[in-house]
Amino acid sequence: MALATLGIISIGDMGLGIARLAIANNYKVITNASDRSQATQDRAKRNSIALVDTDIDLCNQADYVLSIVPPRDAIATAQRIAKAVSHTNFNSRPNPLYFLDLNAISPKSSREIDSLFTHTPQIHFIDGGIIGGPPSLKQDGTWSKPSIPLSGPHTLPSTHLATLLNTRHINSTIGSATGLKMCFASLSKGFTALAIQSFTTAQNLGVLDELRTHLDEYAPSTRTKAEKGLTGMPPKAYRWVAEMEEIAETFEADGGFNDAESIFRSVARVYEFVADGTELGKETVEGRKRGLTAEDVAVLMREGAEKRKVKTD
């Protein structure tokens, strides 16, 4: 018998990783993929994730619902759950449903989601974020896991699940966990945006090799971090556009920075250009595995800029 049922929305790289981890440890995982592609539905089936037909079914059957969607879809997903739990059948369940928003959103957005469930006592909302890559099974049989900070007045009732997912409850304030995620992501993804512009400009000037040489001599860890960020970024750039906007909102609303100081609005535009204005926007995770280099990224960024210039001239 399963320890509990997790409803995961949706089954992307992170959602699938968490689903595999949970299933391997005797949890049942369900998802509503009725509005997703056949490929997504097939991927769920291949990984022993049960498909349900509606959000109402998801909420009635799950003990926990984990929202793991692109940032732009976080509020709409929470609204879907709020609508589903308004169904009369939901009120007869013996235990509350825990709704964990684990998306890369601002504290302001998390507070907005919390307000959706203010008058629904059978929903316990938990603010959360994910720091790190998807869970994966290592050769020694153990799992690598991201960190999942949580916050808010409610805590996970299962210490087993809390430990399995590598969660840590920070405090009782909605927005603390998402705020931590935003502050962390600003340093990693903000740096990658700088690397995009630095390496592209060096490529245009014909000094990329010199830049690498000087980084090797004076800041070798910076070169390693920059090139890793550049080669891993393309398949994710389209998702990071909204995440950078959420970081900007975090720094403005909770950090006290004004519009003129809000650099992450511009960082969002960098990733928007990568996703929509260059061939890098067509990169997939599988493509990345075939060996995209940092120089490839710089060259494709330059080509995208040249095409954009021709269009505007």
pLDDT digits 0-9 by tens, 242-257: 999 999 999 999 999 9
Query: pLDDT tens for residues 101-125?
Result: 999 999 999 999 999 999 888 899 9
Q: Is the pLDDT of residue 91 over 90?
A: no
Cβ(75)–Cβ(15) below 8 Å: no
Query: pLDDT tens for residues 138-148?
Result: 999 999 999 99
The alpha-helical segments, DSSP class H, found in the chain are 13-24, 38-46, 55-61, 74-85, 107-116, 159-164, 176-205, 208-218, 220-232, 237-253, 263-277, 285-289, 294-312
Q: Can you list the domains of the chain with their CATH numbers?
A: 5-172 (3.40.50.720), 178-312 (1.10.1040.10)
Question: Distance of alpha carbon 286 from its chain centroid, rounded?
Answer: 19
Query: Which backbone phi and psi does 254 adopt, to 5 degrees?
Result: -110, -15
Identify the helix (H) or strand (E) that includes residue 143.
Answer: strand 143-144
Query: pLDDT tens for residues 256-275?
Result: 999 899 999 999 999 999 99
